[in-house]
Structure 1
Amino acid sequence: MHDSPDPQQPRHGARIHTLEPYHFANNLPPEVRTRLREIFAHWAEGEKAESLVREIIDGAPDSLGVRIVAYRFYFYRRRSSEAAHWALSCLAWLSERLGLPGDWRAVTADMADFSRWHAFPRLWLQSLTAYAYNQARLGNEAEALAALAKVESLDPEGKLGAARLRQVFSGPRGDAGMVFAKEYENWRFPAQAGTH
């Protein structure tokens, strides 16, 4: 499977019944794989690593694999604004191939076969979950919870763990940097209490 859309694939709301697995590494141009090794070699040099990521993006902006590279880079750098942007970019790419609305809020369960766990619907759900995660890190509670609610509505079996993430986001103890403002919130960094 390649990043270009298959003209034989049903579009615009058709249910997807057959999609082969999406192999991330196999869907990267060879030169991008070489650049990935360079990025890891320069990981401690933030500006150099980011410039290499930007070169990858500029060289193949319409590749899903490259968008995933960008997402992962910014996610692991804990730059949640950029990570959220690239999660949405992946979502947009996948929505176009699946014939889904551009606004994730308008997607409903009958628009694609989310239940069979094929590659593109699964990646669509993962991208929206990633978007929710990073919105939570940014403190955007309403947006994060709305995205999670959409994932839950499309994944009733809970394969993505959206219900658990909701507990993490909204429970009395936040986790993994995804902390919304709550009463008695300074449990993790008591020494910094009252410094903001």
Structure 2
Amino acid sequence: MSNIWDDEWLNRRYYEGLLPEAAERHLHLAARSYADDVRAEDHLMDAIAIAPEHMVVYLGLYKFYFYKGRLSEALATARICLQRSAAELGIDPDWHKVRERQADFGSYDAPQARFYMFVLKAYGYLHLRLGHLATGSKIMDKLIELDPTDKIQARVLLEVLQKKEEDDE
């Protein structure tokens, strides 16, 4: 039986050759080093240095910060992901200016648009968690505007926020 962290595991490829092998290896090394914050973060930064044009390296950094409870850093990384996702879609990098007609945000068949929505939801959620309630609420409203059928389930977060505000009164 092989060790989960052996060279075969470290050298596996998930991104169909789209991500440089060295960057992907650093993502795996970051996972292996997860308990050592400094080492894991160093590997994530190395992956970004190798492949700064690939969203997946930023997602790795975002997840690391999020699961470590480093929410301010997760927010900053989510902002980068949001801007990169907007650029890939060819829409305004300012989420305030994005309109429903600019992409098929409510469709499961439009992966780039759906990804943008998930990143925007994460961005809004982090604002809420950090106590930036007005901004988080505006982002959730934007999600509902872009996806009126609410496939992204932003209404749930808005309901939690409304309940919290009622409880605080």
When normalised by structure 1's length, the TM-score is 0.72
Q: Distance in 2 between matches of 1:39 and 1:156?
A: 38
Match in the other structure for 1:46: 37
How far the C-alpha of 1:28 sits from its partner, in A, is 2.9
Secondary structure in 1 matching 2:168:
coil
Change in 2 beyond 3 A, CA 1:25/1:182 = farther
Match in the other structure for 1:164: 156
Match in the other structure for 2:113: 121
Q: Distance in 2 between matches of 1:152 and 1:28?
A: 33
Contact 2:24 2:47 in 1 (8 A): no
Match in the other structure for 1:97: 88
Identity of aligned residues (%): 31
Measured against aligned partners, the alpha-carbon deviations of 1:120-178 in whole angstroms (never above 9, x if no partner) come to 00000001000011111111001111111101111111111100011223314xxxxxx
User: Are residues 1:37 and 2:36 paired?
Assistant: no
User: Are residues 1:69 and 2:69 paired?
Assistant: no
Match in the other structure for 2:168: 183
How far the C-alpha of 1:181 sits from its partner, in A, is 10
AA partner of residue 52 (structure 1): H
Larger proportion of helix:
2
Match in the other structure for 1:137: 129
1:55 to 46, 55, 66: 46
Q: Distance in 2 between matches of 1:53 and 1:61?
A: 11
- Higher RCO by CA contacts (8 Å cutoff, separation 6 or greater): 1
Q: Distance in 1 between matches of 2:54 and 2:67?
A: 20
Change in 2 beyond 3 A, CA 1:181/1:89 = farther
CA RMSD of aligned residues (A): 2.0
Measured against aligned partners, the alpha-carbon deviations of 1:74-120 in whole angstroms (never above 9, x if no partner) come to 11111111111111211111211222112100011111122323110
Q: Which runs of 4+ in 1 moved over 4 A?
A: none
When normalised by structure 2's length, the TM-score is 0.83
Contact 2:62 2:74 in 1 (8 A): yes
